Structure 1
Amino acid sequence: MLEIKMEECVSRGLSSDLASLLRCEGLTTITLTRLDQLVTKSVSGSGFSRVLVVLKSLEILCENREELQTLIHLGLTAKVVSWFSAIHQPLTSDLQRNATPLLNLADAFYDYFLLLCQTSLPVSQLSVVLLQLARFALDQDIHFPLRLEAIRTFNSILEFLSREQRRQIQMDQNQTPILSQVAAAVLTVGDYELQVSLSEALCRLTPRKEREHRANQWFSCRDISRAFCDIRDVDFEVDCRRFLNFVNRYHGDQRRAFLDSTEGFLWGSIHLLKEEVDRYSLYLKQDGCTGAETVLSVQLNTPSCTRTAEVVRWS
């Protein structure tokens, strides 16, 4: 009977009714198991909008601290992390990765993790959530905006934690391998915004007194290691920009970005969907004064704008 009622709420998109039903039935291992079965079935059948209803109902329940603690005690965190892991396959599938319901669901998971981690979640569970977010951020097959939002959520969670909670996570040995991958991605990811967020994650999870030792392990180039250690937490934005400018220059000629005739002062990101592009060309333009300039020209089906410049040429 419970399964039928839950199915009705989910099918009709009634998250508040589902939350009320779970309250009436009682927050027990049985109800959480039934909810888990419903979500697992929905994900396997690409019912992403149905899972979104479940997450919204859990958000409603989390407004009551007592109910939230009951759910956490019953193993809610492990269930939600498992559901989040289950959408990894469709997010990397060419057929589903850009589906709006799936993208909306991924964003909802980020919001829910942020909400969940603002409570008195055990550090061991916090660490698991952070690891999953980091893995999504590093996966090149996942839609780029979702990767960027994953690491931003990672940093937002760390920002909310107490100094003691952060210290315990910094000591968690499970974080060590993923931090090495994050450091490697800083050098190769090719996007400034993502580089900044990855660098922020490294700084947040590395005690100042250990930063030099870890940086020497992460970066084989001593100059890059020293540049990373020069990042001061109090001036992170400015110092991180210097670090990344050094990194990006180190791996090639200094580059500049142009939108038509407008030169970008700092690195920025422009994301174009394949179906928006009519044609493009990449060529080397020789300049007697400044040397060679690599120019990427993109012709869009519909002109786009960023701030005051129309996107015509990116070099």
Structure 2
Amino acid sequence: MLDSSPKDIRKKLCQSDDHVGLLEDLAKALTDIGDYEMQVAISEALCRMTPRKLREDFAGKWFHFRSFASAFTSIRDKDFETDCRTFLNELNSYFGNSRRVFSFPCIQAFLDSAELFKPEDEFLKEFWVDFNIGTSTISFFVNDPKNTLWELIHLPKDVVSVYNFQECGDQKILEVHMSTPLSHGEITGKIVKIIFSAEHNIQTALTRVFPDKPQSSSLSKVLEAVQSGDCLTKMEGTQHEQTSVPQTFASPSAAETKVIHQVTR
């Protein structure tokens, strides 16, 4: 609607009290909403509703830290997805473990045995995975060779049956088992495996996104026993074995045994 309006009308509208108040509310929602995709939508709305010449002045009022305002005003229309990622990662990271969205770069991701790839964009250097506290989901964008748009892989808590998280050497491996199949192009599967570098605090994000899903330290130890003390990472039909640190554990409870059967079935 605003794109087709004369510049003087748009400028006058943007300076009205109602419009200014709406923009301030949207900017505040960025840190409260707890979902990366919704943060992107809000950021796009803020960009579209402010003329570029006024954007720096508005951003200075919305964000108390100059670095946030600078990252926002640096968002370019033609590179919106990658520039917005830079801005939101900086904004979310500022809040540490109290943030509502945790974003970590992954090394590899798989749907069952098929590898998934990050979107093909020269400015997107990392394969980002978002842990969304507000919507209790894990999400990440993947390359869709049949479409110019990025495809979103979405793992909501409601369709997650169990997850397994292990640290193996210099990697942290997350396996999410879905109760309903997930589709990507011609690929369909129920297990999503994501491999991260060990430097990232994945466990904190996991327990906040899936606080009541079957996975505990005792279950991890039992799973290690099932795997004979070895941590196996399957990648494109090739198995890379890494030895995990032996741990002492008690016999699994009935509930844990049931979960193991689900995971190893």
Q: TM-score range by the shorter chain?
A: 0.3 to 0.5
Q: Greater helix share, 1 or 2?
A: 1
Between the two structures, name the one with larger relative contact order (CA 8 Å, sep ≥ 6).
2
- Calculate the TM-score normalised by the size of structure 2: 0.46
